[in-house]
Amino acid sequence: MMERMGIEMKEIKEVEKVVIFTRNMDLVIKNPVVSEINAQGARIFQVTGEVSEEKKQREKFTEEDVLLVQQQTGVDRTRAIAALEESDGEVAKAILKLTTQG
C-alpha cells in the first residue's frame, strides 16, 4: 500500500552512531536503528537508540580575538592568550590590561 502512495522505506545497515549537533549540546544516539523513508522525493530519517546529551564546552574567545589583542597591544601570542583568559574572554578588558601594565 505504501508503494502505491509513492512511499519507500528501507533500513540503513551498520550505522554505529548518530549525532545531532545543536548550539548548546550534542545528542548522541548509540546503537541506532536508522530507517530512511522516501516519500515523493522527500527523504525522512527515523532514528531509535540509546540517547545521551553532551553539553558543549564553549570557548571564551576565538583565534580572531587573540590576533586582535596582539595587533592592538604588540604582545606575543602567549601573552595575548593569558590576558584573554584572565579577562574571561573579553577583548577590550584584555587590551586594557596589557596596555596599562608598566
| Per-residue model confidence (pLDDT) at position 86 | 92
Extract the C-alpha cell encoding 34. Answer: 536508522
Written as one letter, the residue type at 54 is E
Lowest mean pLDDT among 26-30, 54-58, 59-63: 54-58
Q: Which residues belong to CATH 2.20.70.30 in the chain?
A: 7-55
Class of domain 63-99 as given by CATH: mainly alpha
Closest CA to 29 of 50, 56, 54, 53: 50
Residue reference for cell 548550539: 23
Comma-separated ranges of CATH 1.10.8 domains in the chain: 63-99
Q: What are the grid coordinates assigned to 28, written together? A: 548522541
- Statement: the pTM of the whole predicted model exceeds 0.85: no
Q: Considering the domain delimited by 7-55, tell me its CATH architecture.
A: Single Sheet (2.20)
